[in-house]
Chain A
Amino acid sequence: MTIDTRDALISALGNQHDKILWDKASISTQVSGGYSSLWRATGLPAQGAIPGAAAYCTSALLGSIAITNQTAPAVGYIGWHTLTTGNANSNLEIHDRLAHMGGLSGAVTTAQNVLINLDTINAGGPVGDSRLGASDFSDVTWWLEWYTATGATASNATVNVTFSDNSTGNLAAIAVGGTAIAASRMIKLISNHASGLDIKGVNTVTLSANTGTAGSFGVTATRQRTLLWTGAVANQTATFDWAQLGMPKIRNNSCLFGIMLATATSTGTVKGFGKIIQG
């Protein structure tokens, strides 16, 4: 039954859904006001692996929330969700992890290949199943994501990208040293195209200096699906209905994981239960 009435919504909430389970350990050494990836957090979903070469991400990856693919015209939606966080005033963004790579070194000052292009990342073809959202890539968020800490020596990263019109260019330099960047930290990449075009691919990352520690970081492309938040009391559960969640579509093969905008120097524990309703 297509979910376009309250009756259909109620029926799906009760009878036709996948469940989402979160029980993530806290990640330390984060920065208040900075983004933290839960990909490598232990618990549920399982800890994801550190990626190597550029790869397309699907729900089959360890670290993703398990979903059941639907047969069109049926589709999944996040219809209900709870959130309990070990830190007060926390938030959880649920993203579809489209593509990732890792193994960039904080000690190398030559251009390092990233080679993610969302037109070809899926076995030579584009990101599938409408996971991309808008065809101009405006629904995609790009990140630098850390897997092991790099060093504290001041350095800048210049990221060379391919824009949606297939032109290439360098983003504004990003400070990646001065203080060691810990595992699970994320830094958002912002397009600086003169005409406001969005990014369809990341080609290389070049560091201006050796940070002093190789570590491991990489590039991740995501599409945000929804946002949940908790209030002023730690470990108090918040509940979100379909309207508060925005009822985002969860496309087949989506690789759902969590990102937090840290409000402390750790993410705090994350617990929650949700329903991906289908119809």
Chain B
Amino acid sequence: MLNVGDTVRVLTPFDESFPETYAITDVVTNTDGTIVYILGECGGFDICYLEVV
């Protein structure tokens, strides 16, 4: 579980479009319970595509 404010890097295959490190700005929970981490204007990412730095 990640938190707002954590700094992450984006993993393959999205690292080509998002090559830097980013701060989590919001955490959204879908109605089916899945959690999506919002990286500002970069959009939402599942935890499987993020790595804490």
Q: Which positions in A face B, CB cutoff 8 Å?
A: 107, 109, 151, 153-156, 158, 160, 170, 172-173, 175, 177-178, 206, 208-210, 212
Contact A151–B38 (Cβ < 8 Å): no
Interface residues of B in 8-53 (CB under 8 A from A): 13-14, 16-18, 28, 30-32, 34, 36-38, 42-46, 48-49
New A-B pairs, 10, CB < 8 Å, besides A109-B48, A158-B17: A154-B44, A156-B14, A158-B16, A170-B13, A172-B17, A175-B43, A208-B46, A209-B34, A210-B34, A212-B34
- Please pick, from A151, A177, A208, A210, the residue contacting B14 in the complex, using a CB distance under 8 A: A208
21 pairs from A and B in contact (CB 8 Å cutoff)? A153-B28, A154-B28, A154-B38, A154-B43, A155-B44, A156-B17, A156-B43, A170-B17, A173-B14, A173-B18, A173-B43, A175-B43, A178-B43, A178-B44, A206-B14, A208-B46, A209-B45, A210-B30, A210-B32, A210-B34, A210-B46
Q: Which residues of chain A are near B45, meaning CB under 8 Å? A: 156, 208-209
Contact A158–B14 (Cβ < 8 Å): yes
Distance (whole angstroms) from the CB of B52 to the closest CB of chain A: 17
Contact B30–A151 (Cβ < 8 Å): yes
Contact A209–B13 (Cβ < 8 Å): no
A209 to B48, CA, bound (A): 9
Distance (whole angstroms) from the CB of A93 to the closest CB of chain B: 28
Smallest CB-CB separation from B16: which chain A residue?
Answer: A170
Q: Which residues of chain B are near A151, meaning CB under 8 Å? A: 30
Smallest CB-CB separation from A156: which chain B residue?
Answer: B43
Q: Which residues of chain A are near B42, meaning CB under 8 Å? A: 156
Given contacts A154-B44, A175-B43, contact A209 B17 (CB under 8 A): no
- Please pick, from B13, B16, B36, the residue contacting A155 in the complex, using a CB distance under 8 A: B36
Distance (whole angstroms) from the CB of B31 to the closest CB of chain A: 7
- Please pick, from A158, A172, A206, A209, the residue contacting B44 in the complex, using a CB distance under 8 A: A209
Q: Which residues of chain A are near B36, meaning CB under 8 Å? A: 153-155, 209-210
Given contacts A158-B17, A173-B17, contact A109 B46 (CB under 8 A): yes
* Most B C-beta atoms less than 10 A away, residue of A155, A173, A208, A212: A208
Contact B31–A212 (Cβ < 8 Å): yes
Smallest CB-CB separation from A159: which chain B residue?
Answer: B13
Q: Which residues of chain A are near B48, meaning CB under 8 Å? A: 109
Distance (whole angstroms) from the CB of A48 to the closest CB of chain B: 30
Q: Which residues of chain A are near B30, meaning CB under 8 Å? A: 151, 153, 210, 212
A158 to B48, CA, bound (A): 15
Q: Which residues of chain A are near B16, meaning CB under 8 Å? A: 158, 170, 172-173
Q: Which residues of chain B are near A178, meaning CB under 8 Å? A: 43-44
Contact A206–B17 (Cβ < 8 Å): no
Contact B38–A160 (Cβ < 8 Å): no
Q: Which residues of chain A are near B28, meaning CB under 8 Å? A: 153-154
